[in-house]
Structure 1
């Protein structure tokens, strides 16, 4: 890894990296931190874990370290995308640095839409009708849409835009789960119907990778997923549909005055520092984290991979970035600038409740329960236990 070699030469700090499956990342990090282990100095994790880990004193606050001129030589806060950076803050303190970020948007096959005379859907009802038309008129040879139905973050990220887009929200003003509202239930039902009726077989268990491949291999005519997927769609080494994809902002079912914010998700992953290591190791970790998120490193990363998920403003605004990602950059920037952080790490109870909600959504997809049954049951359960005292 030439970039790591350069950092080691510049600082004299030896870097050892352990790569583990993404699905195991959060569990392993939480286990290590709960044991007060100093096995790792620094961890890559989802920003949605921030508040819960801060509540358990599992993360190092970075603010004072970033004021140290010996440690901030690579750091430029003004270059980090504000929406991403804010996901790593709790009560005004910074606990992580974004390496990667994304929002979500609609991706659709321009050639298929032209063939069937369809217009880009602006509402979820129109989205459903497009999926139905494509599946039926193709004789079932092309699925109307593919979505992430799998349990855990997968269906939460995918379903949240539907919940928001129907006028629902995750939490009310009293820090109680609000997924049993008619609006939230309608959003979950629409999401589940699309997966059940017009998505490829197995979509109920799809994660990010499976969903991306289903679309880029030409199995489905639409998907709603991460903005970073655009880079894979347009890469001949990754996709069979290069040049055939259109990109649009998220459909929305109700008027803007009935929404709790926008309905494109905003997600980031970044670097967190273990508070249980020695002071010397903390300082070395801070130096590495600021280097890894610097504009120079972020720009170089785009040369070697389809890395449109940069957290660097200057990298995103560079001519090379704009040229490489021209087919979808406008839709991506719009989604990022208008992304909803409502499923972020601002809730210290998030780690506990997410798996319960995700399982409930999956039960609707596979037909075990209706959307109303599942959402009312999980909301009552969480509000009477995990959120009995709100977020405290």
Structure 2
């Protein structure tokens, strides 16, 4: 009998603890905003610029934007770019102190770097200002997601969406070839081989991300942890020049070069997602938000044919867990000239009402609102995978990617190593040693 997962009582109980303190006194511009009365649109005529990641969440925000502009009188200039271009654009804006973007959306790993560099402002004063927090409800965010937006005891971002990772597999093909849903990497290799061979390569046994950088690192980290590896050892040194990391990369290279699709070394999130949705691969490990695309008749040719399961592991009980906990949030630029207007947009875009609406606009199962997760739309649209998704989120490893200021450099160095191994230019062991040496130089320079 399939076990049903829901958000646990402990998770719900911790909501209040995760919420930001609403009693803190606003400071700076936020306190001045409270003095503006007599108008329902105190920021009418102000313009803000927002940099968003190409994602179903962003698409929904864009479609709902006229409502915000009409109700506030604030003009919003949205720029939506692919995830692979997002951080470089944000860093160019921040380092130049141009103030081009008032709000930047990015993942929590890069968010920590922005905080440490002094590029973004804390949000506690805005969240605690009664004249500005009409849409803000800290207790409604998934606690793990809101916690990921904090550095120390300060809130620096509002979670736009969150996800974990799970295994997606073709139920029809597994039944046809009498295959067992894999719980280990060896079993996954066997399943990929059977389907690839039986279909004479017309259906890839598996598809994963190969594109250099955060794209391949995000999925490969499942294998790093699943083989018993880790990013940083107890002495604060890079831990990639290890037998566990080598096993993870050799496995990744072998399963993709033997049973993966043509051109997989260039696959990012979108390419990987589309190939699976088109029925051209039997398995993939990727973000839980992909389930919404698999089950959308307008997007997918495999609706109702996909099974969802925890990511396999080789060790049985990895150190930190082999599924991710990834949260993407909106951050307020320190050089913004219209911070109150920017906060109103951030709190509106992440409010429960807007997140509930977003699920009917685009395939968006990555909502960060507990109210949205309990809504009938969520339950009816995402029922095929919601239990597995919620279980993955609860077990998600917060250190799945390195949560340190040097994370960006470490991820980039590791992404190069993965690409070198996938293309056969360098052995997995040598590529990881090179990345390990570079990572240690970065760590020593802190």
- Aligned residue pairs total 385
Q: Which runs of 5+ in 1 are unaligned?
A: none
1:204 Cα offset (Å) = 1.0
- Candidates 243, 249, 260, aligned match of 1:182: 243
* SS of aligned partner of 1:304: coil
Paired residue secondary structure (2:235): coil
2:110 is paired with a residue of what secondary structure?
helix
Aligned equivalents of 2:189 and 2:267: distance in 1? Answer: 19
CA–CA separation in structure 2 for the residues paired with 1:77 and 1:120: 38
* Superposed CA offset, 1:326-363 (max 9, x none): 11111111111111121457310111221111010111
Secondary structure at the aligned position of 1:16 is classed as strand
Query: Which residue is 1:200 aligned to?
Result: 261
Name 1:266's counterpart in structure 2. 325
8 Å contact from structure 2 (residues 185, 312) kept in 1: yes
Say whether 1:304 aligns with 2:371.
Answer: no
**C-alpha distance in 1, partners of 2:107/2:234?**
25
* Secondary structure of 1:15 counterpart: strand
- C-alpha change, 1:345 and 1:353, in structure 2 (3 Å) is closer
Cα 1:132–1:351, aligned 2, differ >3 Å: closer, same or farther? same
Partner of 1:334: 391
> 1:181 and 1:187, CA in 2 relative to 1: closer, same or farther beyond 3 A?
same
Taking structure 1 as the reference length, the TM-score comes to: 0.95
C-alpha distance 311-123 of structure 1, shift in aligned 2 (>3 A)? same
- The alignment status of 1:362 with 2:419, answered yes or no, reads yes
Partner of 2:314: 253
The answer for the alignment partner of 2:42 in structure 1 is none
Unaligned runs of 5+ in 2: 1-61
> Who is 2:13 aligned against?
none
Residue by residue over 1:133-152, the C-alpha shift from the partner in whole angstroms, topping out at 9 and shown as x without a partner, is: 11112222221000001111
Indicate if the aligned counterparts of 1:47 and 1:345 stay in contact, CA closer than 8 A: no
Q: CA deviation at 1:173?
A: 2.3
How far apart are residue 96 of structure 1 and its match?
0.9
Deviation at 1:255, TM superposition (A): 2.9
Partner of 1:386: 442
Question: Which residue in 2 is equivalent to 1:102?
Answer: 163
Alignment match, 1:122: 183
Distance 1:30 1:87 in 2: 20
Any residues of structure 2 matched to 1:74-223 within 5 Å, and which?
74-223=135-284
Deviations 1:37-70 (A, max 9, x none): 1122111222221121112110111112211111
**2:23 maps to what in 1?**
none
Name which structure has the greater RCO, CA cutoff 8 Å, separation 6+. Answer: 1
Residues 164 and 262, structure 1, Cα contact 8 Å, conserved in 2: yes
Identify the residue that residue 38 of structure 2 maps to in structure 1.
none
Displacement of 1:180: 1.4
**Would you say the 8 A contact 1:50–1:345 is kept in 2?**
no
State the distance in 2 between where 1:176 and 1:188 align: 19
164-173 or 4-13, which moves further after superposition?
Answer: 4-13
Give the alignment's Cα RMSD to 1 decimal.
1.5
1:286 corresponds to:
343
